[in-house]
A = this chain, B = another copy of it.
Amino acid sequence: MQKREFSQSSSSKSLNINNINPHIKEAKYAVRGELAIKSEQYRAQLAKGEGKDLPFDSVISANIGNPQQLDQKPITFFRQVVSLVENPQLLEHEDVLKNGLGYKSDVIERARSLLKDVKSVGAYSQSQGAPGIRQSVADFINRRDGFPADPQSIYLCGGASAGVNALMSVICASPKTGILVPIPQYPLYTATLSLLNAQVVPYYLKEEDQWSTDVADMRSALKEAQKKGIDVRAVVVINPGNPTGGSLEAQHIQSVIELAAEEKLVVLADEVYQTNVFEGKFQSFKKILRQLQDGDKNKDGKFDSVELASLHSISKGMVGECGHRGGYYEMIGFDPEVVAQIYKFVSIMLCPPVVGQCLVELMVNPPKEGEPSYAQYQKEYDTIFDNLKARAHALYDAFQEMEGVECQYPQGSMYLYPTIKLPRKAIDAAKKEDKNPDDYYCLRLLDATGICIVPGSGFGQREGTLHFRTTFLAPGTEWVSRISEFHKAFMHQFSDD
């Protein structure tokens, strides 16, 4: 063995860091980067009982929207149905059918109808997803927006990330292809563009206006990119926002669609947080597009050919089933030949996880009023919603008290993204360790408290500003005071006096 290990130097290898795909090397994905890895090491250390010298006794993963890793319980109805489709033999037991195990009649009916659609959750489905489930998604979109949806244009996927990957893979044709991406953004977008060797065309969200979109800024970013010879083809909007926690009003969505119509941009609407809205009501891009198409502004038909892909996911909302990898995208106005190429692309990976598909169906078609599981479902749903909102506010309130921290009022999604102003001495200390000041701050926070958050550098921010993103998923408020105390001590240590 010794010999084997010894000879594993780069020079003797076919693959080394200098000859692999350079676009993978370039890609950055901080959400699961250095800090997250270090926090996992702390967690393992504590689990082994080896963490006595650490200044904390638990690790809080506030770096990633992973509700069930924290205290969020899965919704009972969903998991009951899934347990039956996984083990259809249960459907033959008296105890199950008689409600002895908590399985109400609508649970059993739903399991049967899903099994009828997919035959077995262990079988590959159609590459774009099981037909009955896509129909159910179409019905949901129709109810949500008041405009019909076509199941043929709906593609189920292994989480919204897989959908973004498919859509961007088709769009990016050359190193000169560009996509407008909000700054700050969830780094899936910039990472995917790196992998595809295409151009990020950044536009800045207006922090002072609840992180809303600013079409003037989008347009100038677009024009500047075009001057450099970049073929800008699409615009990404994340609504409600990740990492920002903002939630767009109809007028903002309208202006984005107007820009897209004028400039022939595909709109990629990341709407995975559509039920995580605390203020106002979620407005879908699809609905606003259809309203524009039917409205006065469309006399010249300029909205008719807009191409929009809207993504949704089972990982977020009150569902929180991240580990099941499920989601969908609806493609509106796409050229059928392009859709056929997307079909081929996704078919190479065969199909999205079928249980994830079933959970998409359950998410878009939950128990209705009057059905046996409705009361429990609604109670669980409301409790999760209320807890999220309460924690968002507790965190917001704590930030209000913290010196040098400014935070927009919580509107939606699962995150807050405050600005932090650090003292000169802290910035110098970071420089000494060859780190960005926000990276340094987050690392110090982790080492002192066991709380893992993500520095603004991982999402992008205006030059000269510093931020961090934290989820508000962790239970209780004790960890919030850990942050406050750390912050106070940090600011004191580096104070300018």
Asked if A210 CB lies within 8 Å of chain B CBs, one says: no
Interface-side segment among A3-11, A244-252, A280-288: A3-11
Do B14 and A325 touch (CB < 8 A)? no
B69 and A124 contact, CB distance less than 8 A: yes
Give a binary string over A115-129; 1 marks a CB under 8 Å from any B CB, 0 the rest: 000111111111100
A324 CB-CB contact with B under 8 Å: yes
Note all chain B residues with C-beta closer than 8 A to A84: 83
Per-residue contact bits, chain A 149-189, to B (CB 8 Å; 1 contact, 0 not): 00000000011011001000111110000000000000010
Interfacial chain B residues near A338, Cβ < 8 Å: 13, 15-17, 20
Complex Cα–Cα for A234 and B19 (A): 13
Residues of B within 8 A of A83 (CB): 83-84, 86-87, 90
Contact of A76 among B89, B161, B169 (CB under 8 A): B89
A18 to chain B, nearest CB (A): 9
Q: Say yes or no for A229: interface residue by CB 8 A criterion.
A: no
User: Interface segment, A299-307, A363-371, A380-388, A429-437?
Assistant: A299-307
User: Is A66's CB within 8 Å of the partner chain B?
Assistant: yes
Q: In the complex the two chains form, is A8's CB within 8 Å of B333's CB?
A: yes
**Judging by beta carbons under 8 Å apart, are A304 and B121 in contact?**
no
A74 partner residues in chain B, CB cutoff 8 A: 120, 122
Most chain B CB inside 10 Å of its own CB: which residue of A16, A22, A67, A349: A349
Question: B-facing mask of A59-101, CB < 8 A → 1, else 0?
Answer: 0000010111100001010011011101101100101100011
A79-B68 contact, Cβ under 8 Å, with A13-B335, A95-B95 = no
Tell whether A21 is near chain B: CB-to-CB under 8 Å. Answer: yes
* B337 touching A123, Cβ below 8 Å: no
Interface pick from A216-224, A353-361, A417-425, A477-485 = A353-361
Binds B, one of A315-323, A394-402, A404-412: A315-323
In the assembled complex, the CB of A347 is this many whole angstroms from the nearest CB of chain B, namely 4
**Interface pair A158/B321, CB less than 8 Å apart:** no
Give residues 1-52 of A contacting B (CB, 8 Å): 3-4, 7-8, 10, 12-17, 19-22, 24-25, 27, 29, 31-33, 40
B169 touching A323 by the CB < 8 A rule? no
Partner of A321, one of B10, B27, B122: B122
Interface check A426, CB cutoff 8 A: no
CB-CB < 8 A to A350: which residues of B? 32, 159, 161, 322, 325
A172, closest chain B residue (CB): B21
Known: A24-B170, A345-B27. A305 touches B126 (CB 8 A): no
Q: How many copies does the complex hold?
A: 2
Picked from B76, B322, B348, the residue with its CB within 8 Å of the CB of A188 is B348
B residues less than 8 Å from A95 (CB atoms):
95, 100-101
A332's closest neighbor in chain B, by CB? B4
Q: Which of B10, B12, B119, B234 contacts A68 (CB 8 A)?
A: B119
Return A328 CB to nearest CB of chain B, in Å.
16
Measured in the bound complex, the distance between the Cα atoms of B102 and A95 in whole Å is: 12
In Å, the complex CA distance between A86 and B118 comes to 18
Known: A69-B124, A83-B86. A24 touches B304 (CB 8 A): no
Q: Residue A169 contacts which of B12, B21, B161 (CB distance < 8 angstroms)? A: B21
Instruction: With both chains docked as a complex, state the minimum distance between the C-beta of A73 and any C-beta of chain B, in angstroms.
Output: 8
Residue numbers in B under 8 Å from A124 (CB-CB)? 64, 66, 69, 315, 322-323
Interface pairs A-B: 10 shortest CB-CB: A323-B354, A83-B87, A68-B120, A68-B123, A12-B305, A32-B347, A7-B304, A17-B337, A69-B123, A83-B83
Beyond the given A68-B120, A188-B348, A323-B355, could you list 16 further A-B residue pairs with CB under 8 A, ordered by the A residue number? A3-B301, A7-B305, A12-B305, A15-B171, A15-B335, A16-B337, A17-B337, A21-B170, A24-B170, A118-B323, A123-B323, A161-B348, A165-B349, A322-B351, A324-B355, A353-B353
15 contacts between A and B (CB under 8 A): A4-B293, A7-B301, A13-B335, A14-B266, A21-B170, A21-B173, A24-B169, A24-B341, A74-B120, A79-B89, A120-B323, A158-B349, A165-B349, A191-B348, A192-B348
